Copies of this chain bind each other. A is one copy, B any other.
Amino acid sequence: MATIIDVAKRAGVAVTTVSRVINDKGQVKEETRDRVLAAIDELAYRPSPAARSLPRKRAHAVSVLVPFVTHPSAVARVQGIVHGLRKTDIPVTILDVEKPAHQSEHLDTLASSYRPEGAVIISLVPSERQLARFAEVELCPVFIDADIPEFSRIFIDDRTGGVLATDHLIGLGHRRIAFIGDIENGSFGFESSAKRHQGYRDALRVAGLEAESRYQRTGPHGSDISRQIAHELLTLPDPPTAIFASSDTQAIGVMEAAKEARVKIPTELSVIGFDDIEISAYLGLTTVRHPLYESGLIAAELVIEHIRDPSCAPRRVEQELEVIVRSTTGPPRD
């Protein structure tokens, strides 16, 4: 592996000059530059990222902090980020968060002397102290699914999404509408499900419908658990005629439970989800769509922008919501 010294020798210049042409900094005479470029080419020289990171105090990478990489919505967003960053030569580092402890662990890394050039933080809300540290070390993270005023972020109005979903059901004529969501106040600080839940309550109230507590259930995220909850709901004396699940994953669980209980969708039960993950179109699931892949793409753009211009001016991107009506919702039978 050729080093910067080899290049300097070959070009008959000092390492400083080589450094200058590599980083396109300072003035270098056209002729000298060409000589250096030639040497770089001949030696197939590539600067060592590690050696570079040391004085710069930043790694040539963009870190993506993501809870549960297995969640379909996370997958879509990460894909968007990877693709958006593909136009640069910046590698993407995945920091997976499966347990609460992982979160602060990775957050610390982001604010350490080995911080990356850029970062995307998905569905996580750091503490004020952590936010302050980002500012100190001049890292401009981009948030997805969290509205952090201090930094750039891409998000949706979850509460309104909950209203949209519930209104769709109400408009169809449903009156016994259940809600299935994630555990609220969980250890990760996710808030989207709780906000969608709030939207559900608001919509019901506006429509003059009572939000009965036996129709509102929460549990750990996942289709299995949701299936179990749906089963309970369907065996109630007066089961709901419609269920709003705060994610498509959970809505799929509901569909499974209905199938097992031989409850026909949408005639006997309407189901609406949230997210519009890839699989939903195939299943004909009615859902509230927000652009998952695009959110990653935009995040990548913002990260690139912040790397170019370290002023870190926060940008705010609110994405549109849209109810995608497919075949799991319809008017109630009774």
Contacts and interface: CB of A to CB of B under 8 A. Distances in A.
A82 B1 CA distance: 30
Interface in A21-67: 46, 48-51, 53-54, 57, 59, 61, 63
A86 to B, nearest CB: 6
Interface in A58-112: 59, 61, 63, 69-70, 75, 78-79, 82-83, 86, 91-96, 98, 108-109, 112
B92 A94 contact: yes
Contacts of A49: 59, 114
A69 to B, nearest CB: 5
Given A75-B75, A279-B279, A98 B114 contact: no
Interface string A276-295: 00110011000000000000
A89 to B, nearest CB: 8
A319 interface: no
* Main secondary structure on A side of the interface with B: mixed
A54 B46 contact: no
20 contacts: A48-B54, A48-B114, A49-B114, A50-B50, A50-B53, A50-B57, A50-B114, A69-B79, A69-B83, A70-B79, A70-B83, A75-B75, A82-B94, A82-B96, A92-B93, A92-B94, A93-B93, A279-B282, A282-B282, A282-B283
A25 to B, nearest CB: 20
A331 B11 CA distance: 73
A143 to B, nearest CB: 20
Nearest to A47: B114
A244 B217 CA distance: 44
A57 to B, nearest CB: 8
Interface of A: 1, 46, 48-51, 53-54, 57, 59, 61, 63, 69-70, 75, 78-79, 82-83, 86, 91-96, 98, 108-109, 112-114, 252, 278-279, 282-283
Contacts of A278: 279
A83 B96 contact: yes
Nearest to A255: B282
Given A54-B54, A69-B78, 9 more contacts: A1-B113, A51-B54, A61-B93, A69-B83, A86-B96, A86-B98, A92-B94, A93-B94, A282-B282
